[in-house]
């Protein structure tokens, strides 16, 4: 650890960046495979279960198991997308057409920097979050960067110079902007709750988790129980922001063929794909941090308590790994929820999506904000905090 911090700052930054790419790309790839596998489970069929490299086939139990799991389809798919011909249609605006997938990747990868993914207990008995950039803007940074993602969809739709992508791009711009409002408003009560007046406030996600790991009934309570409406609005808005069914208007394949990525193929298309999954991953991570207690194993059971039970207090590394595993478990569970919904529900119509966003979610989130502001104000007034 000390070795890392003695490196020059730019080397540290470069290493962190590489770490993000090395983590997010495989997770997105694994998500695409999980999507196929989960859909197979839901639809009562085996799903991807064929591909296996010859030298793996001879390993007795693990080989067939991984084959059955479809683990090698992930590699096969990635390889296929990488080595396929990369066509550039003649009618597109080449510069923006190539730029769009890159623009999609930038926010998808950079939001990860603000997301803490675990914690360890230092020698001074302090919980130190594992995070690439522990800044106070935290969530604001995630929102600010993630909302840049819409530019890639608009660019792709516009540069494709074709009608279906164009419609997809128009839908994307309207939808993503509409749902950002409710999303932001829905998390405000959480930060009002954790930041006492008179002190310098923080939008750091690590701070939220810290708050949820306090002792006591209210302290250890996850925000999903304390603010179920906020959690619900955030989750719905997350579906819309990540273009997941039932809100996948920009690429609704039934009417817009492929939406904004109709004209894309091979690796450029897969960049959109990876970007979508990494948005989903980061979104799930933020949801887990805000409402599901981050790396705390259970409500009212904090990581430190668990460490005490398992006699891990003196082993910061083991506890750190445990916290990361718990956190990843929560993220995967919510990704599974995303997939579950996708393969179960039909898709909304575009105007219905807008109606839900503006006429139902937004008023609800404003009301939610007002109610919690009043509650917090009342608690301040009567001195319960």
**Site for another protein, rule CB under 8 A:** 39, 42-45, 163-164, 167, 245-246, 248, 252-257, 343-352
Closest CB 360 distance from another protein, rounded Å: 12
Structure token digits, residue 234: 């955030």
Q: Judged by CB, which is closer to another protein: 41, or 225?
A: 41
Closest to another protein by CB, 7 or 345: 345
**For another protein, the closer CB: 229 or 257:** 257
> Which pair of tokens denotes residue 158?
């516009």
**Angstrom distance (rounded) from CA 264 to CA 273:** 11
> Rounded to the nearest whole angstrom, what is the least distance from the CB of residue 347 to another protein in the complex?
3
Shortest distance, position 207 Cβ to another protein, whole Å: 37
DSSP 244-278: -TTS-GGG-HHHHTTGGGTT--HHHHHHHHHHHHH
Cα-flanking dihedrals φ and ψ of residue 227, to 5°?
-135, 70
Nearer to another protein, 167 or 172 (CB): 167
CB of 343 vs another protein, minimal distance in Å:
5
DSSP label at residue 298: B
Give the nearest distance from C-beta 41 to another protein in angstroms: 11
**Of the two residues 134 and 162, which places its CB atom closer to another protein in the complex?**
162
For the bound state, the minimum distance from the C-beta of residue 352 to another protein, rounded and expressed in Å, comes to 6
Q: Give the number of other Cβ atoms within 10 Å of residue 256's Cβ.
A: 22
- Kindly give, in sequence order, each residue whose CB lies less than 8 Å from that of residue 359, ignoring residues fewer than 6 positions away: none
| Cβ contact 270:260 at 8 Å | no
Between 163 and 359, name the residue whose CB sits nearer to another protein. Answer: 163
Reduce the DSSP state of residue 119 to 3 states and report it. Answer: strand
| Three-state secondary-structure class, residue 346 | coil
127, containing H or E segment = strand 127-130
Take residue 288 and report the two structure tokens written for it: 């887990």
């Amino acid at each position: 650890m000390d070795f890392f911090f003695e490196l020059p700052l730019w080397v540290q930054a470069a290493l962190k960046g590489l770490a993000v790419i090395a983590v997010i790309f495989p997770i997105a790839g694994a998500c695409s495979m999980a999507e196929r596998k989960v859909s197979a489970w839901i639809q009562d069929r085996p799903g991807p279960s064929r591909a296996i490299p010859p030298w793996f086939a001879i390993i007795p139990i693990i080989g067939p198991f991984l084959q059955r799991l479809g683990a090698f389809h992930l590699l096969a798919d990635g390889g296929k997308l990488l080595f396929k011909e990369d066509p550039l249609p003649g009618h597109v605006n080449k510069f923006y057409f190539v730029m769009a997938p890159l623009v999609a990747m930038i926010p998808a990868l950079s939001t990860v920097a603000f997301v803490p993914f675990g914690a360890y207990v230092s020698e001074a008995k302090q919980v130190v979050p594992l995070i690439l950039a522990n800044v106070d803007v935290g969530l604001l940074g995630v929102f600010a960067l993630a909302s840049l993602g819409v530019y890639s969809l608009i660019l792709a739709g516009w540069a494709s110079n074709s009608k279906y992508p164009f419609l997809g791009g128009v839908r994307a711009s309207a939808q993503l902007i509409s749902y950002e409002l409710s999303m932001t408003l829905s998390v405000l009560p959480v930060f009002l709750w954790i930041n006492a007046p008179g002190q310098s406030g923080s939008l750091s996600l690590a701070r939220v988790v810290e708050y949820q790991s306090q002792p006591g009934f209210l302290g250890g309570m996850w925000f999903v129980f304390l603010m179920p409406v906020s959690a619900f609005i955030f989750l719905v808005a997350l579906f819309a922001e990540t273009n997941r069914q039932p809100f996948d208007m920009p690429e609704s394949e039934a009417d817009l063929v492929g939406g904004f990525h109709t004209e894309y193929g091979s690796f450029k298309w897969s960049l959109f794909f990876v970007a979508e999954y990494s948005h989903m991953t980061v979104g799930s991570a933020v949801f887990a941090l805000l409402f599901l207690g981050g790396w705390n194993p259970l409500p009212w059971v904090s990581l430190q308590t668990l460490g005490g039970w398992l006699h891990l207090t003196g082993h910061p590394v083991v506890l750190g790994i445990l916290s990361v595993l718990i956190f990843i478990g929560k993220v995967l569970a919510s990704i599974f929820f995303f997939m579950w919904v996708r393969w179960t529900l039909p898709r909304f119509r575009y105007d219905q999506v807008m109606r839900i966003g503006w006429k139902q979610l937004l008023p609800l989130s404003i009301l939610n904000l007002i109610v919690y502001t009043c509650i917090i104000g009342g608690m301040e007034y009567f001195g319960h905090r």
